[in-house]
Structure 1
Amino acid sequence: MTILLMKQAFVILGVLLGLTSAVRLAPFPQADISNGVIQAKLYLPDPAQGYYQGTRFDWSGVFASLDYNGHSYFGQWFDKYDPKLHDAISGPVEEFTPIGYETAKPGEDFLKIGVGSLRKAADAPYRFATPYETINPGKWSVAKKGKDAIEFTHELTDAAGYSYRYRKTVKLVPGKPTLVLEHSLTNTGSKPIETTVYDHNFYVIDKQTTGPDFFVTFPFPLQTKGTPRGMGTLFETRTNQITYLRELAKGETTHCYLTGFGDTAKDYDIRIENRKTGAGVRITCDHPIVQLAYWSMPIAVCPEPYIQIKAEPGKEFSWKIQYDYYTK
C-alpha cells in the first residue's frame, strides 16, 4: 500500500512539474517585422506574460533577434533568466534615470519612464538592480504599423505626481539595412519632466566571444575618467577606438566612463565591428551625448550613450536613434 501511494505521489509530482515546465516554456507575447533585408523579432510589453517585467529598463523595443545578410546582432547574453531580473533583457533597450527618487522619502513613490511609478523602499541611494515595488504601471498599447514597424505607447497618469504619454516606434527602412527608433515624450501633467536616457545596446554579434576581433570606434579621441574596470588587462583605448587585449573569460566584465565628445549630435556616431565575421553596425542619434559609458562581457559589447530629456507641461520632446547594419 505504501509503495502504491508513493508511486501515485510521484506521478502527481511529475504531472505538476510538467505543467510548470509547460508554463515556463509557453511563448511570450511577440511580433515579427521585416523589410525584406532585415528580419527581427520583438517581445511585447505585458505585465503578466511579458518576457521582461523588471523595473530598470523601458519595456518597449525588446528584441529577441535581428538578422541581416546571414549575421545575427541580438540575443540572450546572460545565463540566468527570470522576467523580474533587472537585466533579463536583450536588444537596443533604453533606461531612463529615475525622477523624484532623491526627494522621495522611504515609502513614497518615484518615476521611471517606460516602467511606471515605483515605491522607494529605504533611505538609500538608487540601485538599478533593486526590484522596487511597482505602484502604478500605467497602460501599454501596441500597434503593428505594417509588416516593417511596431508602435508602442505607454500612458501614465499621476505617477509620483507626473503624467505623460511616451511613444516609441520601431521601424525598418524599406529596402535598406537600417533600423530606426523614433521616440516622443509628451508631458500631460503639471510638473516639468527632466531626466536622461541611455541606450544599453546589448550587441551579441554572431555570438562571437568578446575579444581582439571586436573594435568599437567613435568620432573623437577617447579619454577615460574614474577607475576603468579591465583597462590595461582586458581592453584599452587607441585614439578613438576601444580594442581588446584578449578574449574575455566567463565572469569577466569591463566598464568605464568615456569623455572627449562635444556638445553636438555629430559625436553620437558609434561603430561596432567584428573582424572575424565582418558584421558591423553604425549607431547615430539626432541629439548630443551628455554622458558615455561602456560595458562588455564575454558575448556582449555595449556602448551606452546618454542624452538629455526635458519636457515642460503640455510640451513634447522627441528623439531618434538610427542603426545602419553592414558587412565587410
Structure 2
Amino acid sequence: MIRLSNDQIEVRLDTPGEHYKGTRFDRSAYLYAISCNEISFAAHEFPDRPIGTGGAGLCSEFAPLGFEETEIGDWFVKPGVGLLKKESESYIFHKQYECLPDAFEVVQHGPASVTLSSDGQEADGRRLRISRTFTLTGDGVVIDYTLVNLGSKTIHTEEYVHNFIAIQQQPIGSGYSFQMDAAVDSDRLPPFIQEADGQLRFTDAPKEPFYFRAEPAAGDDDVFELCIHYEDIGGFLEIDWFVPSKVAVWGCPHALSVESFNSIELQPGERIEYRREFKLACTPAHTR
C-alpha cells in the first residue's frame, strides 16, 4: 500500500499487483481511498465483492491495443495491466483474462507525491510506456500522465477514470446533485434524475445500476470540469486539461461515477502528456 498525506488530504493507492489482480483496471493507478479532513469520498464498485470487476475509488482504465487484429490464442496489450490472452472474437471488459503482468517502478518523492511507471510489454508491434505522478495539493490530488509509444505500430486507445464516488459513504439519492461540461439528452435520463439550471439532481434513490451518455462541450480553455455535491457535507470536483472524446455517467445505489474519456493516438516514438485534477471540499461542520 502507498499512502500519501498532508494537513488536509489523505490518499491510498495499491502497490501494483499487491491486492488488485484484475485485468480491467490499470494496476499502477488503483487509488482506492481518498479523504479530506477525514471525510471520505471513495466507494467500492460493489461492496459485496466479487460482484463486479473490483473497482474502487479512482480507477484508471485504458482500452486494449490491437485486440481486433490479434488471433485467438495470441496475446494483446492491456495498458497498465500486461499481456492478455485472446479467447474470443469480442473483448469483454469484465472478464478475468489469462495475464502476463507488467513490471512497475514506484518512486516516492516524499510524503505527498509518488510516481508509478511501466515500460509495458510488446505484442504485435505495440508497446506503451505509462508514467503517472500523483501529487497532493491543499485540497486534492493532481495526476500527471506521460505516455510514450515504444512500439513499431501506431497506438489507438482511450483512457478514463472510473471514479466510484460516495461522499462520506452516503448512498446515492435525493441529497446528491452534479454538473458537468457536457450536454445531456433529457430522454436519456433515468426517472430519478432531473435537470434544472444546468444541474442534474437526484429526486430519488436508484434501485439498480444505471448508465447514460453525455455530449462533451469544449470550454474556453479546452478544460473539462465536473462536480458532484452532497447536501451540506461536501463536493468532489474533477478538472481535466483536455476536451474528452465522450462522457458517460454510471451509478448504482451506493456510488456515482461521471467518466470523461481521453482519446489517444500515438505514432511510434511519439510522447504525450496530460493532467487530471481532483479537488475535495467539505463544510466546517463535518471536519475534525
Q: Give yes or no for TM over 0.5.
A: yes
1:1-328 equivalent positions in 2, closer than 5 A: 30-46=1-17, 50-82=18-50, 87-123=53-89, 125-134=90-99, 136-173=100-137, 176-223=138-185, 228=188, 231-238=189-196, 240-249=198-207, 252-262=208-218, 266=222, 268-277=224-233, 279-328=234-283
Deviating above 6 A after TM superposition, structure 1's stretches of 4 or more consecutive aligned residues are none
Aligned match of 1:24: none
Q: TM-score, normalised by structure 2?
A: 0.90
In structure 1, distance between residues paired with 2:241 and 2:223: 10
Question: Residue 206 of structure 1 aligns to a residue in which SS?
Answer: helix
Percentage of matched positions with identical amino acids: 24
- Cα deviation for residue 70 of structure 1 reads 3.5
* 8 Å Cα contact 1:263-1:289 kept in structure 2: no
**Matched residue pairs, number?**
283
* 8 Å Cα contact 2:248-2:259 kept in structure 1: yes
Consecutive unaligned residues of structure 2, counting only runs of 5 or more, are 284-288
Amino acid in the other structure paired with 2:118: H
In structure 2, distance between residues paired with 1:77 and 1:204: 11
Of structures 1 and 2, the one scoring higher in RCO (CA 8 A, sep 6+) is 2
Amino acid in the other structure paired with 2:27: W
In structure 2, distance between residues paired with 1:153 and 1:320: 15
In structure 1, distance between residues paired with 2:38 and 2:163: 20
Which has more radius of gyration?
1
In structure 2, distance between residues paired with 1:105 and 1:258: 34
Change (3 A) 1:36 1:159: farther
Question: Residue 185 of structure 1 aligns to a residue in which SS?
Answer: strand
Q: TM-score, normalised by structure 1?
A: 0.80
In structure 1, distance between residues paired with 2:72 and 2:143: 35
- Cα deviation for residue 59 of structure 1 reads 0.9
* 8 Å Cα contact 1:212-1:244 kept in structure 2: yes
- Cα deviation for residue 144 of structure 1 reads 1.2
Consecutive unaligned residues of structure 1, counting only runs of 5 or more, are 1-29
Change (3 A) 1:100 1:291: same
Amino acid in the other structure paired with 1:170: F
